[in-house]
């Protein structure tokens, strides 16, 4: 079979249950066949139709003609001294040039968190983030997003080539905190979220699936109507003047507008709290007055703050805040009644820590959201 013919097949990893049922019905089969397929794919991690022995042979033959379970291809894998694993995954080429994304697995006692990507690159241009400096190429499809979790589970369980028998380190939590802004790829992220939380899919509770956003307010308000997952918001500054510099989307959706959308999300979904991520930049956003402003914004709301020690990357102008400064910032917020923790840096020796993912982005359009120059450049 030619490569073109193979890629024309429907990748079942990208189909939430209703769409899979419709696909199966189109093949003349009853809806329960979709449930059988989901059990094989997600519970047993089997992608070869020939091995799905409780499906009728005629149905398996039909599936082989029109469908596939296609996982991302691993280009490289790196292991950190702390057990973190990072995979560089091939994304479909654009204009003949290879694209790649990154996914990171972080093992902890009783928990395994997979950080996944939603775009090839990112267009939001946050100044302290390595991914943003790569520019933006395209959105990932639903199958490419879901495939990162499916592949990681197989690798961690030893099912896939190159996998290790570490079934006790399966993915228990998924965070959309890798490359890209998830809400800028809403159409493809939403069905992926459905599969993560479907009891016939990955069967993760809503508290174990976290979407991280820099603040696309219209999409955030829509999200409140469409799904119910945990929410993390990349805040990083307590006032608009500073956030305009660090997170340019703030020029379009300032802090008050963003926070209104956050509280709406909690009300609509009866959520427990929203986590606000705050990268600690030496001399930039880590002063006592910044802590006071941040507390004033969040006190009295169901909010938690996660302080992130800045993770450097080549060419950055920023430095990590000293540990005593981070501790003082944290302690002040806690004293004001805003629950605050400091994120433990993981995988920084393989550039897998927060803000360090870069992937491989070619033919990119570098976009400066909030700038008068939009786009800045188009590189061939």
Q: Is the pLDDT of residue 135 over 90?
A: no
Please list the residues that pair with 84 across neighbouring strands: none
Catalytic residue among 68, 102, 144, 181: 102
- Write down the pLDDT at residue 163: 47
Q: Find the range with the poorest average confidence among 95-104, 227-236, 295-304.
A: 95-104
Residue pair 246/285 in contact (Cβ under 8 Å)? The answer is yes
- Write down the pLDDT at residue 83: 84
Q: Is 126 a catalytic residue?
A: no
* Domains recognised in the chain with CATH numbers: 8-68 (1.10.150.530), 73-378 (3.20.20.70)
- Write down the pLDDT at residue 99: 83
d(CA 175, CA 168): 19
List Cα–Cα distances, 209 to 113, 148, 149, 221, 263, in angstroms.
Answer: 10, 14, 12, 18, 19
d(CA 72, CA 158): 16
Summarize pLDDT for 335-350 with one digit per residue, the tens: 999 999 998 876 555 4
Q: Is 354 a catalytic residue?
A: yes
Global pTM?
0.87
Q: Quote the tokens at residue 157.
A: 């369980």
Helix (H) / strand (E) element for 19: namely helix 17-26
Summarize pLDDT for 115-133 with one digit per residue, the tens: 999 998 888 878 888 776 7
Q: How far is CA 103 from the centre of its chain?
A: 9
For the chain, the average pLDDT equals 86
């Amino acid at each position: 079979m030619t490569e073109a013919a193979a890629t024309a097949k429907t990748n079942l990893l990208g189909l939430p249950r209703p769409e899979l049922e419709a696909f199966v019905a189109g093949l003349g089969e009853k809806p329960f066949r979709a449930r059988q397929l989901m059990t094989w794919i997600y519970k047993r991690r089997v992608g070869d139709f020939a091995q799905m022995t409780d499906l009728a042979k005629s149905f398996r033959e039909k599936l082989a003609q029109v469908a596939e379970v296609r996982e991302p291809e691993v280009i490289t894998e790196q292991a950190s001294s702390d057990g973190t694993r990072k995979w560089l995954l091939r994304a479909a080429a654009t204009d003949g040039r290879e694209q790649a994304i990154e996914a990171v697995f972080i093992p902890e006692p009783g928990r395994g968190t997979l950080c996944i990507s939603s775009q090839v690159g990112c267009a939001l241009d946050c100044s302290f983030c390595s991914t943003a400096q790569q520019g933006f190429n395209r959105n990932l499809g639903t199958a490419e997003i879901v495939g990162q979790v499916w592949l990681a589970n197989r690798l961690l369980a030893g099912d896939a080539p190159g996998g290790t028998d570490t079934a006790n380190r399966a993915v228990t939590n998924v965070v959309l905190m890798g490359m890209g802004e998830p809400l800028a790829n809403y159409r493809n992220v939403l069905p992926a979220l459905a599969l993560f939380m479907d009891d016939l899919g990955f069967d993760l509770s809503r508290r174990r699936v976290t979407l991280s956003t820099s603040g696309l307010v219209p999409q955030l308000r829509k999200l409140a109507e469409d799904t119910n997952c945990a929410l993390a918001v990349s805040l990083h500054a307590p006032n608009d003047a500073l956030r305009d510099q660090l997170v340019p989307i703030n020029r379009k959706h300032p802090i008050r507008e963003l926070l209104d959308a956050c509280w709406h999300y909690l009300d609509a979904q009866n959520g427990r709290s929203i986590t606000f991520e705050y990268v600690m930049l030496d001399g930039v956003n880590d002063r006592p007055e910044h802590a006071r402003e941040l507390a004033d914004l969040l006190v009295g709301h169901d909010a938690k703050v996660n302080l992130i020690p800045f993770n450097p990357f080549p060419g950055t102008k920023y430095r990590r805040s000293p540990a005593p400064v981070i501790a003082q910032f944290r302690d002040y917020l806690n004293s004001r009644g805003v629950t605050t923790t400091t994120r433990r840096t993981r995988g920084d020796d393989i550039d897998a820590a927060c803000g360090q993912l870069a992937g491989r982005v070619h033919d990119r359009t570098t976009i400066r959201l909030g700038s008068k120059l939009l786009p800045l450049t188009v590189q061939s």
